[in-house]
Homo-oligomer: A and B are copies of this chain.
């Protein structure tokens, strides 16, 4: 049978990875797919740079639309990035009847509903394993591996840059700014690292996983997003003393009243496997009602890990494109006519526990005034750590771990505590999850 013909738009680092993996493993891939998969045309504005990568093994075109217009091409890989041109190209490819494979998390988190609807109407598939957690087949696990389950929650380290920074901060006791510079020097962080360190990239990926897990449309605008820029080495140390690590987690959880969708630094018990995921690695924990806890770990970025996911999508499309379209794997895991309108909960209704650090005057009655406020808001305390103040010091750190509560209730209590004359600086609050 004639090989599946693939065109690639955006031949950058990942695109080159796709080319190399497809070339190197073509025999292995054909033995698996039952049909060859051939990259026949690639697009990059700079033709010389493109030819330096693919040689004469694929046609090189300067105009992305030439890939889409090519009637020989069955599948278009979009690796342009961004949400403007990429959106146009993906929609045009779909309109032209091409299946699409993309690694573009921002595009799908923001415009997924429109794109998947267009693909469904046209009877083509959009593969996006590479959009979440790089080479880890987490989209496949969620959409196909756990179909018997009612998914309860997902918690993931889905941004390698921030996990690298947090690992370094803990290992070396350094502060955020110092480690960020090191990460940039080593290539783990980009020159403009905003999307990573502010949690936006993680929120894109989380939005996609949440939709797939719970059968709801992608709703990036409703995600609560906090990055790691405010995180202090002090709190990483205190967390450690209490048996916790701090990770930037994307968390989405089904509650009776709606779905939590949030990215923020989180204390996690040090004994949990995910707390031990170090450096630039990614990991996603999925809790299902039948399977219990499962975890998926691997490289979340990089040319070949991402290419691994792109090629898996190519093979899947090669397999499923002859299947009855109604029984292909639905884009959002659930059939388009079976999506739910479960609301995304506002932050005030999120349930979580907290780590609090208060700089307080070292005098009688301070702890009592604080615990009274917590009690008034129905907040129960799990643990308290009061540092011995040094000789002559008049203030000390008070660390409190709470049990689960509504975020809104905690915010109200925090405002009251912050107003106490014995609380001497801004209170640090970091969410905590037991993940059990």
Contacts and interface: CB of A to CB of B under 8 A. Distances in A.
Contact of A322 (B25, B136, B327): B327
Contact of A148 (B276, B302, B310, B330): B310
A328 interface: yes
Contacts of A144: 137, 140, 144, 312, 315-316
A294 B135 contact: yes
A147 B311 contact: yes
Contacts of A35: 327
A387 interface: no
Given A25-B150, A148-B312, 11 more contacts: A17-B290, A31-B215, A34-B330, A140-B144, A144-B315, A145-B312, A148-B307, A288-B308, A295-B297, A320-B323, A320-B327
A25 B149 contact: yes
Contacts of A136: 291, 294
Nearest to A319: B327
Contact of A32 (B29, B311, B326, B330): B330
A52 interface: no
Interface residues of A, number: 70
Interface in A315-366: 315-316, 318-320, 322-324, 326-330, 333-335, 338
B292 A273 contact: no
Contacts of A295: 295-298
A86 interface: no
Nearest to A135: B291
Contact of A294 (B273, B296, B311, B320): B296
